[in-house]
Structure 1
Amino acid sequence: MCIFKFLWQLSGECPEGTIPITRNQKARNFKRYAKKKHKSFSQLDDPSTHEHAVAYVQNNVYFGAKATINVWQPQVQTSGEFSLAQIWVLAGANSFLNSVEAGWMVSPSLYGDNNTRLFTFWTRDGYQSVGCYNLFCPGFVQTNTTIALGATISPVSTYHGAQYDIILCIFKDPKQNVWWLQYGNDGVIGYWPASIFTSLADSASLIQWGGEVVNTAQGGQHTTTQMGSGHFAEEQAGAASYFRNLQVVDQSNTLVPPGDITSAAPKPNCYDIILAKNDDAGDFFFYGGPGRNPNCP
């Protein structure tokens, strides 16, 4: 397991009774930037703007998900685009879609820079108006005083060099009726009260892991925004980005293998995914890509 240091952590922990909140000097209009404007891939996503390479399981009852997520710093073409790697825990459909999400992202419009940052997101109306990133609106309740949402993650992986990853787990607490977010072995970061949801108030019906980019390129050309490492899944270890040790939380509140996993990459010449499994990494996959290239003009 790799140990990460968040850059803000160098100045120490927060005083007792307080939590760390990152300050953004450039993206001041949080209400404008703090909302997604799309649906999950499996819920009528618009492929003209949001593109994915994901693995997913569905048609069952889930109470959470876990993964070890390889961390990179992909290049983002414009300030209106982002690139992320995350876990989705979802229920419902269309305007009734509920989701809790967590992972890392590069988003110049949200954070004012191109750093790789830890983030969370939630929605209960299919990404229309209710929900937001991190602590930009009421919803997620932070309890951890040493891990800041929106904090820069350092170091990141390098092509055919050192590889770094983080472990994230989202799980339902039936006694307290909340969805917890746990980071590695450092304990929980905080929770989403189940009471803020409709379809996700009890359990999830769909789990997704993978990458997402926004493509706002004009003039008929695809964006050059990278997903993951910016290299295709076929390059595999040390070159392509990965998720490993995929697990779901079952009805007995136990982490178990996900079962039959399906993959989806609607534009495989731009971003793709390869599923695999072995004793060391469990259920895992490589994914990603460079965006625009001779086969993805």
Structure 2
Amino acid sequence: MFQEWRKSGEECPQGTIPIRRTRKEDVIRADSIARFGRKPVVRRASTTTGHEHAVGYATGPHKYYGAKGSLSVWAPEVATSAEFSLSQIQLYMRQLGAVPRSDDQVSPQLFGDERPRFFTYWTNDAYQSTGCYNLYCAGFVQTNNKIVIGAAIDPTSVDKGKQYDITILIWKDPKHGHWWLEFGSGVLVGYWPSFLFTHLAAPATMVQFGGEVVNTRPDGGHSWTQMGSGRFPGEGPNRVAYFRNLQVVDWDNNLIPLSAPRLVADHPNCYDIRGGCNREWGNYFYYGGPGRNARCR
């Protein structure tokens, strides 16, 4: 029970699924009706996209039939309604932009508040004209009647206090080729049908774990939108967002540790990442940051 709506004891009958209600206000916040439910377009005077990352990833020559990890849940502050902050696991064909992904996100434009929410996304053309979040377009097929995609996650981690994380697994069905989404210990949420993807009919060539924010430079300086907990990795346990027990699915449908993932931060003075490995957490990393600060302008 990781979503607030379940605390009331409410459940959906067998053969149905719970769907977050779309309100008029949700549609009005979108860039346009055509882009409702899709990744926001970031309009910047510069040539950069405005998307900034701190991620751990792995790419060929191996093929990836899935990825799994546990990530801490925080409620980062977001500077404007045009920005978002998310943590995600994604698999894709590196050159071709085919992506199924899932995890948690704070997006005022999409959801109308700053609560972290469980989300899915897919695209087969690098976000140009296909795909959407959650169930806002045909694509992802939900099979679970106890989880709402797009609902708030509760409780969330507390600075210097109790930490909460969720475990996500995306894996390719070897018989039908669908990409399944699994939550926690064996709870199937649903799947991305194989026909959605031209190139991910084959296994993925890249897996990625980590954080992403949008920096619109709202007043000419770097945004103060937070990633993760809003603190840098060096500030230590119980204060910093993390991914732990990073694993991938091999050709024989086995989960194996993701060894020595590459760690990259686009702008480490704004959002950084540091990794390690131990017996309890396997391969892990801390990541995040406050955005604008004395070294990030």
TM-score when scaled to structure 1?
0.92
Match of 1:203 in 2: 203
Q: What secondary structure does 1:195 align onto?
A: helix
Deviations 1:14-43 (A, max 9, x none): 1121100012433125743421258xxxxx
Give the letter for the 1:64 counterpart: G
Matched, 1:36 2:39: yes
Structure-2 change in CA distance of 1:226 and 1:33 (3 Å): farther
**Cα distance in structure 2, aligned partners of 1:258 and 1:283:** 7
Contact 2:259 2:283 in 1 (8 A): no
Give the letter for the 1:77 counterpart: A
**Cα distance in structure 2, aligned partners of 1:14 and 1:241:** 33
Deviations 1:257-286 (A, max 9, x none): 112310110100000000110000000000
Q: What secondary structure does 1:110 align onto?
A: helix
Match of 1:41 in 2: none
**Cα distance in structure 2, aligned partners of 1:219 and 1:82:** 17
Q: What secondary structure does 1:118 align onto?
A: strand
**Among residues 65, 68, 71, which one is paired with 2:67 in the alignment?**
65
Give the letter for the 2:179 counterpart: W
> Deviation of residue 218 (structure 1)?
3.5
Q: What secondary structure does 1:97 align onto?
A: coil
**Among residues 13, 16, 19, which one is paired with 2:14 in the alignment?**
16
Match of 2:125 in 1: 125
Give the letter for the 1:56 counterpart: Y
Aligned 1:73-84 pairs, distance under 5 A: 73-84=75-86
**Cα distance in structure 1, aligned partners of 2:262 and 2:186:** 31
**Cα distance in structure 2, aligned partners of 1:74 and 1:112:** 15
**Cα distance in structure 1, aligned partners of 2:183 and 2:228:** 20
Aligned 1:139-288 pairs, distance under 5 A: 139-185=139-185, 187-288=187-288
Contact 2:170 2:180 in 1 (8 A): yes
Matched, 1:27 2:26: yes
> Deviation of residue 57 (structure 1)?
0.4
**Cα distance in structure 2, aligned partners of 1:18 and 1:193:** 19
**Cα distance in structure 2, aligned partners of 1:48 and 1:122:** 19
**Cα distance in structure 1, aligned partners of 2:22 and 2:240:** 31
Match of 2:51 in 1: 50
Structure-2 change in CA distance of 1:80 and 1:33 (3 Å): farther
**Cα distance in structure 2, aligned partners of 1:209 and 1:92:** 14
**Cα distance in structure 2, aligned partners of 1:86 and 1:92:** 16
> Deviation of residue 220 (structure 1)?
2.9
Match of 2:44 in 1: none
**Cα distance in structure 2, aligned partners of 1:37 and 1:148:** 22
Contact 2:58 2:207 in 1 (8 A): yes
**Cα distance in structure 1, aligned partners of 2:35 and 2:202:** 30
> Deviation of residue 198 (structure 1)?
1.3
Between the two proteins, the alignment pairs up a number of residues equal to 285
Unaligned runs of 5+ in 1: 39-45
Match of 2:3 in 1: 6
Question: What is the aligned-residue identity percentage?
Answer: 48
Q: What secondary structure does 1:154 align onto?
A: coil
**Cα distance in structure 1, aligned partners of 2:223 and 2:234:** 21
Q: 4+ runs of 1 displaced by more than 4 Å?
A: none
Give the letter for the 2:55 counterpart: V
Match of 1:43 in 2: none
Unaligned runs of 5+ in 2: 42-46
